Amino acid sequence: MTRHTRASTMPAERPTVKSAREIQPPKQERSRRTEANILSATRELLKTKNLADIAISEITSRAGASVGSFYARFPDKVALLLALQEDAMSDVRANLSKRLDPDNWTHASLKTTVYDMIHSLVEVPGRHIPVFKAAFFGALQNPLLATRVTAITEFKVELMALLVLSKKDEIHVPNARAVAISGARMIESVLQHRRIRGYVEAVEFIIPDARLCPDLTQMYLSYLGAERPASAAPRKKR
């Protein structure tokens, strides 16, 4: 006679649930947080020091990380600077793309559009001056840093031209696209020169925004044939 084994009526053991304190975040998440802290700490230090004068231990101490954690992510300070530059440029691209989207300026005049565009081109990159300053001096020895500067410059030029050409009815010159691009390069060149002067000269020698933005607006509008300086207006016949 076959004996049937009675199934156990004991409830299955419940899985142990760890407290929130015991649950550790995934290593990948911790790694990202450590890297973000290192980048943030370096940005703060760059506000008062040159990168060459900042010790790795100073960065890691401020970031709450170990020196080993630093070198696990960045082989040297050049790699760190490349990461900082990429983060800054990504922010500039994202913010300018949003601000200078032609759809946002449908009802604005060309004059208003150009003025606010130039103001954005001053204000948005201005958030990252310490990083861009370090990248500028680093680019003198590292071609990749220099190549990225060229790439972001071309991006801004195309963005400016695209926005200006959305107001084509107010542009009164032949070959509007070529003129818009040429004028955008001129604007970006002036802004770059101003930033570079700011890296190496006392702030009192830098043209203030309140004067720079109107002057560049008038220059670009005149270049586009949209507005002409009063001195260029035709004289009335006597």
CA distance 209 to 4: 91
Identify the pLDDT of residue 234: 42
pLDDT tens digit sequence for 118-153: 999 999 999 999 999 999 999 989 999 999 999 999
Q: Do 94 and 167 sit in the same domain of this protein?
A: yes
User: 4 in a domain, yes or no?
Assistant: no
Place 170 in a pLDDT band, splitting at 50, 70 and 90.
Answer: very high
Q: Do 90 and 161 sit in the same domain of this protein?
A: yes
Q: Do 103 and 120 sit in the same domain of this protein?
A: yes
Q: Do 176 and 61 sit in the same domain of this protein?
A: no
User: 52 in a domain, yes or no?
Assistant: yes
Q: In 3D, which of 227, 219, 214 has the Cα closest to residue 115? A: 214
Q: Do 99 and 178 sit in the same domain of this protein?
A: yes
Can you tell me the mean pLDDT for 19-43? 73
With contact defined as beta carbons under 8 Å apart, do 187 and 163 qualify?
A: no
Q: Do 50 and 90 sit in the same domain of this protein?
A: no
Q: Do 141 and 123 sit in the same domain of this protein?
A: yes
Q: Do 47 and 91 sit in the same domain of this protein?
A: no
> Where in the sequence is the domain holding 65, given as residue range(s)?
28-74
Q: Do 83 and 55 sit in the same domain of this protein?
A: no
**DSSP per residue, 82-130:** HHHHHHHHHHHHHHHHHHT-GGGGTTS-HHHHHHHHHHHHHHHHHTTHH
Q: Do 85 and 161 sit in the same domain of this protein?
A: yes
Q: Cα–Cα–Cα angle for 123, 128, 131, nearest 5°? A: 155
Place 217 in a pLDDT band, splitting at 50, 70 and 90.
Answer: very high
Q: Do 108 and 172 sit in the same domain of this protein?
A: yes
Can you tell me the mean pLDDT for 150-174? 95
Domain finish residue from 74, 101, 129: 74
Q: Do 86 and 185 sit in the same domain of this protein?
A: yes
Lowest mean per-residue pLDDT among 77-81, 86-90, 199-203: 199-203
CA distance 94 to 6: 67
With contact defined as beta carbons under 8 Å apart, do 49 and 42 qualify?
A: no
Identify the pLDDT of residue 31: 84
74, pLDDT greater than 90:
yes
Identify the pLDDT of residue 65: 95
Q: What letter does residue 167 receive in the DSSP assignment?
A: T
Can you tell me the mean pLDDT for 217-237? 68
Q: How many independent structural domains does the chain possess? A: 2
* Higher pLDDT among residues 40 and 204, named by residue: 40
Q: What letter does residue 172 receive in the DSSP assignment?
A: -
Sign of CA dihedral 122, 124, 129, 131: negative
Can you tell me the mean pLDDT for 212-217? 94
